[in-house]
Structure 1
Amino acid sequence: MATATLCKLEQRKINVHEAIRLRQIARAAKRPMPAFTCTECARPVRPHKGGGHTPAHFEHLHRNRNCSLSHKAAHQKPAAAKHASSIDTAELARLTAGGDDYIRTKDGEVKGLALRLDLNEGAPEVVVVGKGPRIERRAKLLLDTPYAVPTYVKRGTNAWEYLGEYRAIAYREDRSTIEQYRGERRAEDVAGILFLESDEALSVTVRGGGFADPQTRWEIELAAIQYVTRELERKGFIVEDRQRENRGYDLLARRGQEELFYEVKGTDAIAPRFFISRNERNFSKRNQNWRLAVVTSARANPTLLVLTAAEMEARFTFDCLAWECTAA
């Protein structure tokens, strides 16, 4: 597995998160992508956001066997389980009903996903769907599939890594979403964007200690979302609810060429207090159009506070209430 978290850009070293930010800026401005190169072999690389159990890193556009920072084909374990961590192409075909599409189907059912990171740099959470009746039908079939399916990404010649089971939670065909997530694919070659989530996605619930019960929290969140939506619409924005898509924000607000991403937090208290997930905070750092919308006294006398990511970081203290624990 690749381990590169630094690259070179114009003779200086930058980390993968800075590279992702620069790429997004270039994409939004419709400028050429920055020329990122490997710190060891100087060959072109691209930043990858990571996914599953893989953190953000750089990947070579073409695998270099002589570079220690390039992906190497992983060796299959002798006694492979049903879904080994790394398998060859033949075993992948056996486990996912064969076929050459990345959405593997049999008898009208989706059996698995086989994703290439050069075509889907945000995989497995984001999948770019190309044009064509067959693949578009399969994308919508995946969206209609109520269960998660085994998902693999290509790590080298004849080597596929198992990331877990993922389900589709949304499929967007609008121009703005395609432009945001198409990567290096041409917009005219993209039919839509699939959004997936892991079957093992974490859900942390805080109980006691003065925190509201689930029903009360739901009522507060609903009141906050409705209030922010009304305020944005009053200002001339067209608002889309994206809560279920786990993108790092709740509402997409558009007004002419302006586009803002609102993460909404609600409380019945008069002082702002809220929880923010790792995904939400990471998105706020990557996108300058992200906004935090805090609604205090949400169900009685709502008051709205809107902050940029920088203003949020300066104004609030972030304390850990839970930790994700993995085996060493």
Structure 2
Amino acid sequence: MTWMRWRPAMERALYDPDGGFYRRPEGPAGHFRTSVHASPLFARAVGRLLLEVDAALGRPEELAFVDVGAGRGELLAGVLAGLPDAVRARLRPYGVEIAARPAGLPSAVRWTDEVPRGVTGLLFANEWLDNVPLDAGEVDGDGVLRYVEVDTVTGAERPGGPADAADAAWAARWWPAARPGDFVEFGGPRDAAWAHAVAGLERGLAVAVDYGHTAGRRPPLATLTGFRAGREVPPVPDGSCDVTAHVALDAVAVPGLHSLWTTQREALRALGVSGARPALALASTDPVAYLKALGGAGEAAELTDPAGLGTFGWLAQAVRMPVPESLGTLPGWQTLGS
């Protein structure tokens, strides 16, 4: 058996050049359904947010759209397709992903494994932070917070060494654990990854979308889990499945920036995505339009489902720019203290 701490085990399982899960040819869509895959309405909403960011920035000569954790470019393609020609002419789209550039992606997209630096526009990370590898810990019978080690073949767990000073300090600040059996998913690597991404913006808005939690609602049980072929599976870090854990969104927020958060349900509603059914009268006057509107309402309902995708957290941070109208001035968004 091969025992490792969770962070290096996740790193190898997800990103190893010789068989890591995110290197597989079928891509994430072959194993789980994200908002991007659920409906083109999601890309349209992100496109609308991009337009609002553009306006708030004073319509700069060059506008960036940075898709962090771009998968196979589905969100990029959807956003580009819905933009006015005048905006698309100024747009510099980036797909940030470790996998090779997918076939058929618009030639304007710059595909890179590094977040670009010094850009102005919208940085959007949909279901990226939950796959940034992290360690897990548990308090032992003597009150010592120890790392959890995992068998990379079976997924079995056992206690490891004591948490180092940095992780212990992070837990004390963001996820206190003192009683035997208390656990922590140490979010320091996610905080650093997000800070690095946000630092790429000269001016603009950075948005992270993920299953997450804040200090008042830390999960009572571990969130580490796996996904394979559309099903949730045990998180065995052997490269055969996605390995993911929810995100401590309040810890992730970069200090000193105007920070807002809400649920995906509220964020998408503010961006014009509604699950309301079309008026029944439309079925008599224009049956084709009614069926199309009904299908769109069904997709919107899935995206905003309070028991499903609608529970995602949206963290938005403004960098040297005013907050767009659909964020700070509409119901649902809350200021997030750092």
Q: Same fold (TM over 0.5)?
A: no
What interval of TM-score do these two structures reach, taking the shorter chain for normalisation? under 0.3
Higher helix residue share: 2
Bigger relative contact order, structure 1 or 2 (CA pairs below 8 A, ≥6 apart) = 2
TM-score, normalization by structure 1: 0.24
Higher strand residue share: 1
